[in-house]
Amino acid sequence: MRSRFFVSLSASSIALGLVLVSCAGSGDPAPASPDPTPLQDRSRKCGTADLPAAQLGAVEARVSMFSPTRAPVSVPVWFHVVNKGTGVANGDVTTAQITNQLNVLNQAYGGGTGGANTNFQFTLAGTTRTTNLDWFNAGQGSTAERQMKSALRQGGKETLNFYVNNAGGGNLLGWATFPSSYNSNQSYDGVVCLFGSLPGGGAAPYNLGDTGTHEVGHWLGLYHTFQGGCTTSNDGVSDTPAERSPAYGCPGTRNTCTGKKFPGNDPTENFMDYTDDACMWAFTPGQTSRMGSMWSAYRG
């Protein structure tokens, strides 16, 4: 089982590039109220979709031409906190939560939770805080999301832009863009996470920060462990056993793909599955290599 180390810091105890933005909204009618379903009653759901078959083939062909980066990679991170007012209940997450989210990423990607050390580490480049109801409730692919990202995004292809809002007000915990999409849509690049999924948030059992870990995995080029189901290509990683469907909760040993072609139990502990935050703790060496090759091919 993974361990967690969170800290509580005041705003003055950490150097932040802090930008405060106040926006009145577009003037359109206010979005519908967020889904009233209690967050703890929802199953994990990530909005990051599989790549279309034609695009997937081109990506795999390109990545196969690149060796994984061997040197440690330090990724600058801009956190964009988009809220509907002051206070954590309105999405205005605290500085300590942002610090703890960054710590969760560094533990997970540094092998501190028991999985492979991926050689990726994350450093805070800055934080923006924006009050805008439309952007707070921005759904995946919406005009509001595109406006939000276009206005707030910082840095280049090597910079992780981490947007924290209400994730559309439905049942999604977050979504991300793949590195292969950067050149064709640079302003859209980044990850979006539900504000309650940050460490200490209200989205239990998904409030230990691993929605961020999962979505950043997509941003670095990983697919869901269950992509492709019981196929030999699956998620493109040889040491994540094939998995017929997502795993939820804390299922323990599970084997949904059987036969000689599919050795090994389902990787329910993997950060790219759908289990509870407390029960996902690993990246594999194969995923490490894939992220390194993706970085070389698209972000290096």
For residues 215 and 109, what is the distance between their CA atoms, to the nearest angstrom?
12
Tokens found for residue 156: 């280049």
**Which pLDDT tens digit goes with each residue over 84-104?**
999 999 999 999 999 999 999
Instruction: Say which range, 25-39, 235-249, 276-290, has the weakest mean pLDDT.
Output: 25-39
Residue 227 pLDDT more than 70?
Answer: yes
pTM of the model: 0.88
Going by pLDDT thresholds of 50, 70 and 90, the confidence category of residue 70 is confident
**Which pLDDT tens digit goes with each residue over 231-252?**
988 899 999 999 999 999 999 8
User: How many helices and strands, by DSSP H and E, does the chain display?
Assistant: 6, 6
- Pick the catalytic residue from 145, 215, 243, 269: 215
pLDDT of residue 118: 98
Q: Which residues are 191's β-sheet partners?
A: 162, 176
**Token pair 């989210």 is at which residue?**
101
Is 243 a catalytic site residue?
no
Full 3-state SS string of 111-140: CCCCCCCCCEEEEEEEEEEEECHHHHCCCC
Smallest CA-to-CA distance from 62 within 300, 298, 287 is with: 298
CA torsion through residues 139, 141, 146, 152, sign: positive
**Which pLDDT tens digit goes with each residue over 141-178?**
999 999 999 999 999 999 999 999 999 999 899 999 99
Tokens found for residue 31: 């979005």
**Local structure of residue 35 (DSSP, 8 states):** P
pLDDT of residue 32: 34
